[in-house]
Structure 1
Amino acid sequence: MQTIRRVAELKEAVSRFRAEGSRVALVPTMGALHAGHMALIDAARRPGTRVVASIFVNPRQFGPNEDLSRYPRREMADARMLAEGGCDLLWAPDVEEMYPAGFATSISVAGVSEGFDGAARPGHFDGVATVVTKLFNQVRPDAAYFGEKDFQQLAVIRRMVADLDMGIEIVGVPTQREDDGLALSSRNIYLDEGDRARAVALPRALGIAARAIGRGEDPVTVLDEARGTLAAAGFDVDYVSLADAETLGEDPDPSRPRRLLAAARIGNTRLIDNLAIEVPAAPE
């Protein structure tokens, strides 16, 4: 696996992939890789496809009081994982290469970016949309792979790609979980032993709520119960909400795909998770 740190060299390498007749798939990451990221690599590996992974801790998607300075960085270990997983090229620019002097552009996606984490983390999704647009322009992939764990991020990127006619296939890969159900996340390393034991209450509460809503129970009551369960487990709850799976509008039509979204803090660690709500079968 080749590691590249300069845009000009990246474009040359991708041009060689194209010249050999290969499709190009991109897996954007911020590093600190785990099995969830490797599921993206595995999904991207198809016959006739070259896989490019990026590692870039994007300062533009961190707020002033967030964990940019302590976000885990372990490029050597990540590179070994990528190589063993069949990745063809690692794109690992520094901040100066991604945002050179004078950089002044920001991409904003209205609607899907404004609630949930967009409200809790102002400017976060502008930073995501901007860096992903840059990555797409640098790599020019045929397809890009993102985890469904960051479901709002996935919705923002899908909306952006559609609105700007980028012509890139955006593939959502199901959330990878620990044996007890906790969604895999690079931030899970922040959890101490006690918080890790309590953290499992998040996927369990969401699972109970998703099944109840799928059975037709009142969403307002179900969501209130889920918030209470999480608070009793020691979480400081940001939101537990039901949304349309495409628009992320709240109070969604039950005949359309819906998503249960949650964010909550346990100790010093903020966790997010989501689950699909099954669409009721049409009566025969």
Structure 2
Amino acid sequence: MNKSLIACNILAEVNQDELKLAIVGKWKGHVNGPFEITLEDLNQMKKNFDSGNVDLVIDLDHATIFNKTGEAYGWIKELEVRGDELWANKVEWLEHGKELIKSKKYKYISPVLLPNTIDQATGNNIGWTLHSAALTNRPFLEELGEVVANNKNQNEGESGMTPEEKEKMEGLESKVTTLETELNKEKEKNIETQVDAAIAANKVNPEQKDSLIALGKTNPDSLKDFLDKAKAIVVAPGNDMYLNNNQNNQDEKIDVLKLGGIN
């Protein structure tokens, strides 16, 4: 096997800013020959990364390998060994990197693993290192899932949820919508009750009902303040200013001038 480098195209799953990069196993069909990755190798990759002082680049189609440099589409900032897997614990995706993944123009990640790395300072062989990673469309390892560039504005199809989780989420959203609808109906009913009570108390005219209900829907506090301050409307007497109704007999009219002793 060519020990210079191993580029493993992986359908790697991103969880928020995390990225699975390698797993323990054996592979026989690589272009550079069969190779094996052990848990010790994963730990060595993390150790060598931690001892370095730079983030690792995520480029496009291995430009860093083939062209000696390449534009960054993301940066690997921290590695972690989880069981028999190597994860980029922190990935900073750049916007053009996210866009390539969300548009499905690029779906896979290809880490470049160096089995025999020579330390620049000491000249010693420090073993396995993670050199870089690339967005690519030519997968080699298919065990690790598809790349999903997650962010706060992504749609549900890119959320990485299982069908069961998505179904549960949709059920909860439906319940929330139903509760919101019922709450709005209850609020509208309460507003109408307040207005009807004000009409019954002669604080507002019945003609004002629709406009006051509209006010309550847009600004309940303003409606409450208005109704609290409203006072009963005083009805002006009829045209017969000389007549009044006897409290004991509503049908008997009394001349108010005669009550004053004037003939």
Q: What TM-score, normalized by structure 2, do the two folds share?
A: 0.22
Structure index of larger Rg = 2
Provide the TM-score with structure 1 as the length reference: 0.21
**Structure (1 or 2) with the greater helix fraction:** 1
Q: Which has the higher contact order (CA 8 A, sep 6+)?
A: 2
